[in-house]
Amino acid sequence: MPIVSNDFSDIVYNRRSIRKFDTSVKIPREEMLEILDKTVTAPSSVNMQPWRFVVVDSEEGKDKLKPFVSYNSVQNETSSAMVLIFADLKSQERAEEIYGKAVTQGKMPEEVKEKQLSSIVPMYENAPFEVMNEIVILTLPCCYALMLVARSYGYDTNAIGGYKKTVLPKRLVLMKTDMCLF
């Protein structure tokens, strides 16, 4: 069982962006799943959770990722895992699942679920790209939540903006050993 800190000040004020990680540290997959489970509680517009995670934690996967993160090759080579966060511009396709889970967990009444499905899903389906792009920008709290949750587990992170944005999502081929969470 990992040691988790609940000291908010420690988590927020002692978080650092690391450029070179300790290569002897490996985050167990079970722990990575716990971190991601907590991360996805971050707020999102109308609870559509328009994010998808790809965790690259094998050397083979990191080798495949290397050409796309050339400006951040040290982080890729030394980190326990690279967590890629993709915006989902079609998150409404999971609306029934998302809202159904909220009903099952007692967080949303069935009638609210039905109202959300009948109004939000058509709105998202008919929204132009620019509108959907603005909506998914509201998922940025998810990125920061990931860094804070990782810190609460004793891990530091580094947000990477230097990657080949136009190529990476189209060319991403996962290895069997890498985790893929959608």
pLDDT at 124 over 70: yes
pLDDT band for position 3 (50/70/90)? Answer: confident
Specify burial of residue 37 (Cβ count, 10 A radius: 0-12, 13-18, 19+).
Answer: exposed
Computed on alpha carbons and rounded to an integer, the radius of gyration of the chain in Å comes to 18
* DSSP code, position 31: H
What pTM value is reported for the model?
0.83
Q: Can you give the pLDDT at residue 175?
A: 45
pLDDT band for position 182 (50/70/90)? Answer: very low
Higher pLDDT residue, 59 or 138? 59
Mean pLDDT of 131-156: 89
* Model pLDDT for residues 47-98, shown as the tens digit of each residue: 898 888 889 999 988 998 888 888 889 999 999 999 988 888 899 999 999 9
Segment among 19-23, 135-139, 148-152, 155-159 with least mean pLDDT: 135-139
Residue pair 179/57 in contact by the 8 Å Cβ criterion: yes
Q: Can you give the pLDDT at residue 82?
A: 93
Residue 82 token pair: 């690279």
- Per-residue burial over 133-148, b if 16 or more Cβ lie within 10 Å, else e, is eebbeebeebbebbbb
Residue pair 42/153 in contact by the 8 Å Cβ criterion: no
Q: Can you give the pLDDT at residue 179?
A: 52
* Model pLDDT for residues 95-109, shown as the tens digit of each residue: 999 999 999 999 999
